[in-house]
Structure 1
Amino acid sequence: MTIDRRRFLAAASGGAVALAAPSLVRAQGAGAIRIGEINSYTAQPAFLKPYRQGWELAQAQVNAAGGVLGRKIETIFRDDAGKPEDAVRHAGDLINAEKVDLLSGGYLSNVGLAIADFAAQNKRLYAASEPLSDALVWSKGNRYTFRLRPSTYMQAAMLVEEAARLKARKWALVAPNYEYGQSAVKWFKELLKKARPDVEFVAEQYPALGRIDAGATVQALEAAKPDAIFNVTFSADLTNFVRQGNTRGLFEGRDVVSMLTGEPEYLDALGTETPEGWIVTGYPHADLATPEHVRFRDAYQARYNDYPRLGSVVGFDTMNSIAAALAKAGTTDNEALVAAMEGLTFPSAFGSAEYRAIDHQATLGAFVGRTALKDGKGVLVDWRYADGAKYLPSDDVVKTLRPAG
């Protein structure tokens, strides 16, 4: 039994997914569609508590509208604690014992890559929500893995557009020492050098994820006397880096370009310590007034009595993209779902997006702006929406980055 795709998208744009009439629900009479969701809930709670809330909001809307294919959606959540080996163990249990229809989730890039490898070996659909590693869809991409969020390449390209306009010539870089950080630095350097051949990179610091020695890192960056800094740290590492940088005057008279820092989950933690004027990717939750976002924000606030974070959007959009794939496929058959995901257009809180058939990367964009302080809190100002489709390489380039098959 199939459901017309245009009906799905029209209903979803209204903030709920009305997919099946009651007669279809009775006719099918099947059990719930089960999704296995794996994430680093205890390791990264600032992002992943809102993520789960956004996911559960979307699921509740889908189910309230009749479900998908006449069936309700049920999610089984597992916590990988930021450990790839735990994520793979959970994936096996979800597939073999819980009999889920597909896998989703992932926050850290190394965890996402581990789940993607499991998905390829076991030929099961994996809808990766958050891991930003370019390898996920390029060098280690596979038929069964799709990714929602803008990748390190995409966000680096968005930020380079702004960085290239700065007068700064000497750059220092700081990033967590694992795949995400290394990839972000690689693309920022490559793209900035292409846009501005006169720039040079005078220092690079790679602190261990979650264990930054912020004082030593700041001291090393200051010693290089850069004109500008590219920062990729996030979460508690970002807070410690900013605190030490403020104390030691690292940011005075220097431009800073920073990935993810404009997201509310990280600005909230910085509070009054938020540095002003940084060029960042982020999310202006209070000011974004598009119809899709207002519907999402109002529903989220009504359900949780709180404002959404970027994680809330990622959870909400991942769930809705899976519902769209199920509706398009007309079945929970794994191979049919994979085929449905390729080229799938789906609704999001930021507007319509698509999973590209060529590399399984979604075209969801990000906001680029500057940090500021308002009423003692960090906010994103002077922002613009950068459409993800405009920051992805051509099909010909992707063919050189992604293995065939």
Structure 2
Amino acid sequence: MRNGAQQRLLAFITSVMTCVAMTPAVHAQSANEIRIGEINSYKIFPAFLEPYKNGMELAAEEANQDGGINGRKLKIIIRDDAGNQGNAIKEAQALVSRDKVHALTGGFLSNIGLALADFAAHRKVFYLASEPLTDKLVWADGNDYTYRLRASTYMQVAMLVPEAAKLNKKRWAIVYPNYEYGQSAAETFKTLLKQAQPDVQFVQEQATPLNKVDAGSVIQALGEARPDAIFNVLFGPDVTKLVRAGTTRKFFDGMPVVSLLTGEPEYLDTLGADTPKGWIVTGYPWQFIDTPEHKAFLEAYQKRFNDYPRLGSIVGYMAIKSLAEGFRKAGATDTESLRKAFSGLEVTSPFGPISYRPQDHQSTLGAYVGKLDTKDGRGIMTDIRYIDGATAQPDDAQVAKMRPAK
């Protein structure tokens, strides 16, 4: 027994000594990395976030070619927030304190993006909000440590309002998910359309619980209001349910609809042959973008994943590419250097050149506007045109009023 105990003790000591001997190598490896902590709702929104993860992976591989960024390799540490603010903050704390990340990115839902932005401000850590669309991120709740990649709610609504005004419809109804993003989109649409068409009336609003829409009841309420046109903000499974309930009841026959996000492949893939024709949308018509930047991205993405990209692929790719360019410009990994590097940072995207505006930390990444149609049983966008995000922003004087003084 004593001999067995001695052997176990010797094995334990050997194990400890091995770990101690390895520690300098582990530290050296970590010191040679640029670590990005990424937090997102992968289990809740897989249709968007699995392609998003692919996009991040492709961008990281490109950044790590030829010695990486200033001689350091980029490493992404991914965490799932399960669509919950508390979980997101818990994961952010662990990434900063335990994993020693140099920057945070991610966020899908607007409320989670706002929570992460608040965390970044208090902990003085850099946060690039990749997907959250709420205007508060860069205006009312904007802070020195938060930048945002994707075109905001205001920007995308501003891209659609001229198309809505051309319809010359007086009585509008609005359907939106009842949380920050949906509420903001509805208010912005009412404000901007009223400016473009002063006689417009808003005869019905349906604010639905996220991912729990009672589509039949919504369609019934809309029908009773007898609108001339619809503005829709629902996305994901909710918009699929709305379309199918409205189609069954023939509600959308001859009804003009203006709809945020519905032209994204993530949602058209699900709608398939049920894609409603003629809806005016923002989206990502990947099949029809004929620019050198997009051709290069599409070829690289299809070669790497044997699949076509979704909008999530673009967002994930550009989040990591932006951070890589930010670290390269900063020449360092500390928060202050990265924060300063992002002010006015220029990056080439699959949609063309973009920059991060110093006045509100919003990127100028734009979006495509077009109409829905079907081809070979699949939803597509037609009559597409790209709108530069820089043209869909309020002027600097308005931004200064909306964004708190530094």
The TM-score, its normalising length taken from structure 2, stands at: 0.92
Aligned mates of 1:237, 1:92 — CA distance in 2? 32
Determine helix, strand or coil for the equivalent of 1:241.
helix
Q: Does 1:68 align with 2:69?
A: yes
Paired residue secondary structure (2:131): coil
Counterparts of 2:204 and 2:179, CA distance in 1: 18
Per-residue deviation, residues 107-152 of structure 1 (Å, max 9, x unmatched): 1000100100000110110011000000011000100000000000
Query: Residue 352 of structure 1: SS of its match in structure 2?
Result: strand
SS at match of 1:253: coil
Residue 66 of structure 1: how far off its partner (Å) = 2.0
Q: Deviations over 1:35-78 (max 9, x none)?
A: 00000100000000000000100101111232101100000000
Which of the two has greater helix per residue? 2
8 A Cα contact 1:29 1:71, kept in partner: no
Q: CA-to-partner distance for each residue in 1:325-377, whole Å, 9 max, x for gaps?
A: 11111100110100111111111111110110000000000000000000000
Residues 120, 142 of structure 1: 8 Å contact kept: yes
- What is aligned with 1:389? 390
Equivalence for 2:141 = 140
Query: 2:15 corresponds to which residue?
Result: none
Q: What amino acid is aligned across from residue 223 of structure 2 in structure 1?
A: E
Question: How far is 1:254 from its partner?
Answer: 1.1
In the TM superposition, what is the alpha-carbon distance from 1:249 to its structure 2 partner?
A: 1.4
1:263 is aligned to: 264
CA deviation string 1:160-184 (max 9, x = no partner): 0100110211000000000000000
What residue is the counterpart of 2:183 in the other structure?
Answer: 182
RMSD: 1.0
Aligned residue in 2 for 1:36: 37
Task: Determine the C-alpha separation between the residues in 2 that align with 1:242 and 1:82.
Answer: 24
Is 2:92 aligned against 1:91? yes
Q: Which amino acid aligns with 2:358?
A: A
- In structure 2, the partner of 1:16 is none
Single out whichever of 366-375 and 63-72 deviates more from structure 2.
63-72
Corresponding position of 1:276: 277
Cα drift, residue 250 of structure 1: 1.6
- Aligned with 2:67: secondary structure? coil
> 1:200-211 maps to which residues of 2 (within 5 A)?
200-211=201-212
Q: Is the 8 A contact 1:239 1:269 kept in 2?
A: yes
Distance in 1 between residues matched to 2:176 and 2:338, nearest whole Å: 36
Q: By how many angstroms is 1:222 displaced?
A: 0.9
Question: Which amino acid letter does the alignment assign opposite residue 48 of structure 1?
Answer: L
| Pairing of 1:6-405 with structure 2 (within 5 A) | 30-405=31-406
Structure 2 unmatched ranges of 5 or more? 1-28
Instruction: Quote the Cα distance in structure 2 between the aligned partners of 1:368 and 1:391.
Output: 12
Conservation of the 8 A alpha-carbon contact between 1:40 and 1:82: yes
* 3-state SS of 2:63 partner: helix
How many residues end up aligned between the 2 structures?
378
**Distance in 2, Cα, partners of 1:65 & 1:281:** 37
Asked if structure 2 preserves the Cα contact closer than 8 Å seen for 1:274 and 1:378, the reply is yes
User: SS of the counterpart of 2:304?
Assistant: helix
Q: Identity, % of aligned pairs?
A: 58
Change (3 A) 1:226 1:29: closer
The separation in 1 between residues aligned to 2:66 and 2:352, in whole angstroms, is: 20
Alpha-carbon separation, structure 1, partners of 2:320 and 2:275: 32
Question: Where has structure 1 moved over 2 Å in runs of 4 or more?
Answer: none
Equivalent position SS for 2:100: coil
Q: How far is the alpha carbon of 1:29 from its aligned partner?
A: 10
Q: Which secondary structure state, in structure 2, belongs to the residue aligned with residue 246 of structure 1? A: helix
1:267-291 Cα shifts (integer Å, max 9, x gaps):
0000111000000000110111111
Q: 1: CA distance between counterparts of 2:87 and 2:93? A: 10
Q: Please tell me whether the aligned partners of residues 29 and 70 of structure 1 are also in contact (alpha carbons under 8 angstroms).
A: no
Provide the secondary structure at the position in 1 that maps to 2:287. Answer: coil
Q: In structure 2, what residue type is equivalent to 1:158?
A: M
Supply the AA of the counterpart residue of 1:154.
M
Matches of 1:103 and 1:183, distance apart in 2: 25
Q: Give the C-alpha shift of residue 31 in structure 1.
A: 1.5
Q: Distance in 2 between matches of 1:193 and 1:65?
A: 53
SS where residue 128 of structure 2 aligns? Answer: strand
Q: TM-score of the superposition, structure 1-length normalised?
A: 0.92
